[in-house]
Structure 1
Amino acid sequence: MTRGRPRSAADEESFDHWSRLHGGLDPRGSVWVRGWVRLTHAGARPLARWGVHPDAVTLAAVVLTAAVPLLAGLGALWPLVAVVPMVVAAVLDGVDGALAARTGTDSAWGRVLDGLADRCADLLLLLTLVVLGAPWWLVAVVAVATLLLEQARALGQAAGMVGPGAVTVWERPSRVIVVAFTAAACAAAWAARSVGVDVLPAVDGAVLATTGTVVGLALALVGLAHVVRAVRRALPRGGAGGDTFPGRPGNTPL
């Protein structure tokens, strides 16, 4: 007996496409991933009818994310408002790939542009934590760990690893969730004080932003270690001279 919504032929095609892009991982095994794939492909359908190019969706997501630190910097309840473009941009980040699959416009350049857009969005989200009051140096450490995670994954794929290597606790959805909850908490703290509720006087927006950043740092470090381990295990060992990269002239170590 099939649980939940029956799978259509369009669903199955969407799941298969997502699986191909993620190293054979099957989204059918997770209700959350399955729902995410359905959501992004549902969003892609009208855009495909309107003739929207996937690259335009990718760039629109970056523009929306750029509005997040600007809105959060206005203070008061604006950090809560900033969550809206943050979530919409996160959805568009998945819609562009679904749109490319649906319209047959998937390309190597599109994948490069998508990766660049993701890194810009990551940095803009982390900038939001600085705007909310977190120490810039602490946020910078999170940024370095995040970029190292993605760099390790990219180098592993260039060296022959298939797929993402590992799905860690610090993927794009986690980054959005941490910043969104931090922004919402800062807005809630302001709203409580504005009506005279001050349960924890020492906890203000800066403390909440710092706490959110510490959580992000912990997740980033765990995710980095997870990816490095997965890349190490996925790649073949080299000879006496060390590990080698397939495709390099003479297959010589770097």
Structure 2
Amino acid sequence: MLSREEYLAAWARWHGGTDPSASPLVRGWLSLAYALARPLAGVPPLLATALGLLVAAGAAVLAVPGGGWLVAAGVLVGVSGLLDSLDGALAIAGGRASRRGFVLDSAVDRLTEAAYATALWLAGAPGWLAAAFGALCWLPDYLRARAGQAGVAETGALSVWERPTRVAMTGFSLGGAGVVALLGGRGSVVVLAGTAAGVLLGAIAVGQLGVTLRRSLSG
């Protein structure tokens, strides 16, 4: 199995040369996934991918009854995010990474983020706001993929709205709403605020990425 530094370097190569060290949150998230992957080196990455999607769907299901169940929904969002990073760590650090697995993992990421947006909507966020949240989870990665097809070798610097931030924002919004509900407050207010903050961060990230890609595409 690769060392942690070798794993981070390999991760960067699979992600268009993006340096994970540019964001302490992303580097910490990847390091945690690597630490979890070491004792699970024999586990197929596809298993972690499938479990991550199922757990994300479970979070949406738990958002239906609301109230204190939102605490569990928030926890499941965090677990799904870790499973998503774990599959990449198992594949890359274990020398089993492939283009097919990379594409499959990206597709599952978008499905889990759709589950996050659905959970926020079911927990009380307005439909249009939850839809915007989901779209802004998808748009940065879509732009990077299209830029890659246009010949851009590097996918741009890490933004304020990368995968770990999306997971954390969703998990804390749902979990925080559950805690407030248990204390007798209106959890939907927390969900609304968290979803709106995610939309704002997503819009900022698209602007950041747009500036970077504009330079690359005009060269």
Verify same fold: TM over 0.5. yes
Task: Indicate if the aligned counterparts of 1:132 and 1:209 stay in contact, CA closer than 8 A.
Answer: yes
Specify the alignment match of 1:128 in structure 2.
119
Matching residue's letter, 1:64: V
- CA shift at 1:213, angstroms? 1.6
Structure 2 residue corresponding to 1:221, chosen from 196, 203, 207: 203
Long gaps (5+) in structure 2? none
| 2:3 counterpart letter in structure 1 | A
Counterpart check, 1:64 vs 2:55: yes
Query: CA 1:155–1:225 in 2, change beyond 3 Å: closer, same or farther?
Result: same
SS in 1 for 2:125: coil
Residue number in structure 2 paired with 1:95: 86
1:79 aligns with 2:61: no
* 1:38 is aligned to 2:38: no
Shift of 1:229: 1.9
Aligned mate of 2:43, from 29, 36, 52: 52
- After TM superposition, which residue ranges in structure 1, 4 or more long, deviate above 6 angstroms? none
Select the residue among 11, 18, 26 that pairs with 1:18: 11
Normalised TM-score (structure 2): 0.89
Structure 1's 118 and 235: CA in aligned 2 closer, same or farther, altered over 3 A? Answer: same
TM-aligned CA deviation for residue 236 of structure 1: 4.4
Q: Match of 1:245?
A: none
Residue deviations 1:65-117, cap 9 Å, x none? 11001112222211111122211111121111111123322111101101101
How far residue 39 of structure 1 moved from its aligned partner, in angstroms, is 1.7
CA distance in 2 between counterparts of 1:42 and 1:178 reads 23
| TM-score after normalising by structure 1 | 0.78
**Bigger Rg, structure 1 or 2:** 1
8 Å contact from structure 1 (residues 40, 94) kept in 2: yes
* CA RMSD of superposed structures (Å): 2.0
Whether the aligned pair in 2 keeps the contact of 1:168 and 1:227 (CA below 8 Å) is yes
Q: 1:61 corresponds to which letter in structure 2?
A: G
Cα separation, 2, equivalents of 1:153 and 1:30: 18
Structure 1 residue runs without a partner (length 5+): 1-8, 199-203, 238-254
The AA in structure 2 aligned to 1:206 is S
Greater fraction of residues in helix: 2
User: Which residue of structure 2 lines up, in the alignment, with residue 156 of structure 1?
Assistant: 147
Q: Which structure exhibits the higher relative contact order, with contacts defined as CA atoms closer than 8 Å and separated by 6 or more residues?
A: 2
- 8 Å contact 2:59–2:119 — kept in the other structure? yes
Aligned residues: 218
